[in-house]
Amino acid sequence: MREREDGRYFIPRLFSYFARSMGTSRAFHLPADIANASSLIFIDSGDLVDLLFAAPVINFFATHFPLIKTTFLVRSADAELVKGLMRVNAIISYEPRQLKLYSADYLALTRKLRKKKIDVAILFDRRFSLDRHLLAFAIGAPIRIGFAHPLAFPFLNCEVRLSEGGYEGKKMPRILQAIGIKLDEGWDAVSLVPREVQHARQLKHFWKPEKDLLMVGLDPSSSKTRHHVIPEIITYLANNLASRRRAKFLIFANPWDEKLVRDLTAELKGDVIDLKPESLSETVALLSQCDLFLSGNTNLFHFAAALKVPTIGLFTKFDRSGWIPESAANVRIFQGTRGEKLSLKDFFGIVEEALAARDAAATEH
What are the sequence ranges of the domains in the chain? 25-178, 194-364
| In contact, 253 and 221? CB cutoff 8 Å | yes
What is the Cα–Cα distance from 103 to 95, expressed in whole angstroms?
A: 11
Per-residue pLDDT of the chain in tens (365 residues, 90 and over written 9) = 444 455 566 666 666 655 565 655 677 888 888 989 999 999 999 999 999 999 999 999 999 999 999 999 999 999 999 999 999 999 999 999 999 988 899 999 999 999 999 999 999 998 999 999 999 999 999 999 999 999 999 899 999 998 878 899 999 988 998 888 888 777 888 889 899 999 999 999 999 888 889 999 999 988 888 777 888 899 999 999 999 999 999 999 887 788 888 888 999 988 999 988 989 999 999 999 999 999 999 999 999 999 999 999 999 888 888 899 988 899 999 987 666 678 899 999 999 999 998 888 777 66
Q: What is the predicted pLDDT for the residue at 188?
A: 84
What is the Cα–Cα distance from 155 to 15, expressed in whole angstroms?
A: 9
Q: Examine domains 25-178 and 194-364 and report if their fold is the same.
A: yes
Provide the CATH topology of domain 25-178.
Rossmann fold (3.40.50)
User: Which CATH architecture describes the domain 194-364?
Assistant: 3-Layer(aba) Sandwich (3.40)
| In contact, 358 and 310? CB cutoff 8 Å | yes
Q: How many residues does the chain have?
A: 365
Q: What is the helix (H) or strand (E) element at residue 121, kind and residue range?
A: strand 120-123
What is the Cα–Cα distance from 66 to 61, expressed in whole angstroms?
A: 7
What is the Cα–Cα distance from 358 to 361, expressed in whole angstroms?
A: 5
Alpha helical stretches, state H, the chain: 5-8, 10-20, 32-35, 48-64, 79-85, 104-114, 130-138, 174-178, 194-207, 231-244, 258-267, 280-287, 299-306, 344-364
